[in-house]
Structure 1
Amino acid sequence: MSWLIDPFADFAFMQRALLGCLAISLGATPVGVFLMLRRMSLTGDAMAHAILPGAAVGYLVAGLNLGAMTIGGVVAGLAVALLTGAVARVTALREDASLAAFYLISLALGVLLVSLKGSNVDLMHVLFGTVLALNDAALILLCAITTVTLATLALIFRPLVMECADPRFLASVSRWSGPVHFIFLALVVLNLVAGFQALGTLMAVGIMILPAATARFWANSISGMLVVAALSASIASVIGLLMSYHAGLPSGPAIILSAGCLYLLSLGFGPVGSLYTRAFPRPHLDA
């Protein structure tokens, strides 16, 4: 028990890291579930890299300043999302190809901008985050983004679920289709920026998508998947932080690797559609 409790009881930086990870787990995982249901999981990965140039510009202007990097990341992410949609609408290029192109340009440009002014340490900070160095301002930002995300999802929950099931039907009976899509993309960008502050650009999407994929093997309903995803992300956060503390591993990759292990266990032995249930299906009752 001391191995589990003492790091969080004795050290303030571990308490801050845990609070920040729990905030991200509550806010990012519902967005990840809807990304998965809408078959947009790779879109989340691309958007995670799209915020890098904006964060890099903020870094060039103000150094490792939370506000500047956050504003830059949000602006860059929203710009890439809007440009992707515009290119897909006015040219023959499909949206997935357009997004892939902008994501590759953004990743290369962001790394180049950080390298112009900073050291390799600064580049690693941007790419992999510093969850063990979260301060009060970062925690307030993470909790605020989580609050905004949950409140917004509660307001658009029904049309968002309908769009996952049948977007053409929603477009035919309601004007919510377009606004819901762009509101949802804004939530994706906000939560990627939140994850970026703690886990870095390359790891932020992991805490969003892996718990959502894990939840698919434990629940059939959307509400069930939302709960399981949040619990999975929280458990992975605790395990990853403990691994980082006791074994000296990088905290961000340790958290994402823990989430990956939970996903692999669920893939093999989860009660809904896993490899085990496919290999050994339950016998049906005779009528």
Structure 2
Amino acid sequence: MSDRYGKDVLSGDWKSKGRLSRPTSQALEATRGTVVEDVETGWVGAVVSVEKAGGVHVVHLEDRRGKVKAFPLGPGFHVDGRPVTLTAPKGAQRAALATVRQQSSRTASGSVAVHDGKAKVALASRIFVEGRHDAELVEKVWGHDLRVEGVVVEPLDGVDDLAAAIREFSPGRGRRMGVLVDHLVPGSKESRIVAEANRVAPDHVLVVGHPYVDVWQSVRPQRLGMDAWPTIPRSMEWKRGICAHLGWAHETQADIARAWKQILGTVRSYADLEPALLGRVEELIDFVTAPE
């Protein structure tokens, strides 16, 4: 007689069958170039490096667009549809990965990164910029380089009395002073200030500048979705005019501070800055670190 309800699904060794049907994860060394998929996020990329961060081993995967993302080493990956547990490479492979990482890693300024190096004791020489926004931009792009060289960047809070600031710093042998000035163009107020300041200690001071009204303008406008920075009427304060053009709040100083943070957040590397600023900052770094 037929069973109208069918076979009991719990009859027999159902636990064993379930285990057999589930594929087993295999251990696999995270060797450079191996293409893997992170199961949780769906990220697919080639292994470019393995390192220990915060006591945890992580693997860096580079996707086809060149973007790199880090994942904890271990289970949760697929290779050709098969589950794998990524393990740290051993011996020669680990050394090869370390060498590639050392050679290929770049800082935001485009220079080769110095890994596992301690920051130098600060030099007596200094780089001065007009204000806080200038200092934050220099730190974001050149911070690594400056720490390696032991160079401190200080804001001046304006350059209206630059000559006095130079005298106060007392530059001399082994104590050079580099200064970055906004809107340093012929005939400007800044050009007259710099001409006077250059007479104070010409052998140990280098004053350079960029042509932009404010350091904000040294960020490529494309990073903010514009073809060019707008022209702001002289009757309106420049930063507030920029915020108004972008549709951002601009009534208070806090609004201006938030606007700058948003602009600074679009800067990923030197490629997001105008060459007229890049060259001047590099020139100042070379000046204050050159042997005498």
Common topology (TM > 0.5) = no
TM range (shorter): under 0.3
Answer 1 or 2: which has greater helix percent: 1
- Higher relative contact order structure (alpha carbons within 8 Å, sequence separation ≥ 6): 1
Q: Which has the higher strand share?
A: 2
